Amino acid sequence: MTTQRTGIRIPTARVNIAAAATPTLVHTIPAGRTAVIRKILFSELAGIAGDIQIGHGAAATYVQDIPNIDAPANLTGILEADEIPAREFLPSPAGTTTQDIYVRTTMSTNLDIQLEVEEFGA
């Protein structure tokens, strides 16, 4: 058996982020697994430019894990794996946040986002 570290590709649902600075759950990682984002698809529907912020943790526990991603107004975008800063999502050292991936925006905007993640586990 080859042991290259490859996982399984999972697409998330298309999630709408309607309000600024409100982390929205995009992907739940099953217990015992870690995940890396391989693709980001987004579309800005309200004519308001903003930044996409991807991290983990809901509400007040949210922590941004990947630098801001520019979302120009009225445009769609796609980022492939090589364009996405490397970050493996796993349980927080503080033990108070989840493994799940949350996304929020910097400005009030109607943003749709969908991810493709690669999950590692057994």
Partner 1 sequence: MSDELFYARPGPITPVAGIGQNILVWRLKHYELFRVQFREGLPPSEPLMRDFGAIAAGATSAGNSLQAELEMPDFQLGQFRVYPLEDLRVTIWLPRSVGRYQVKNTVAQVTAFTPIYDPCLHTTEFFIFEDTWPYLDVMNPRALGYTLTRVVFYGFKYVLERIGTFEEITQVSLPYAAVVSEGY
- Residues near partner 1 (CB under 8 A) are 1-5, 32, 34, 90-93, 95, 120-122
Would you call 70 exposed, middle or buried from its count of C-beta atoms within 10 A (0-12, 13-18, 19+)? exposed
Smallest separation, CB 88 to partner 1 (Å): 9
Using the minimum distance from each CB to partner 1, give the nearer residue, 42 or 102. 102
Q: How far apart are CA 73 and CA 50, in angstroms?
A: 7
Q: How far apart are CA 59 and CA 31, in angstroms?
A: 21
Using the minimum distance from each CB to partner 1, give the nearer residue, 4 or 60. 4
Using the minimum distance from each CB to partner 1, give the nearer residue, 31 or 60. 31
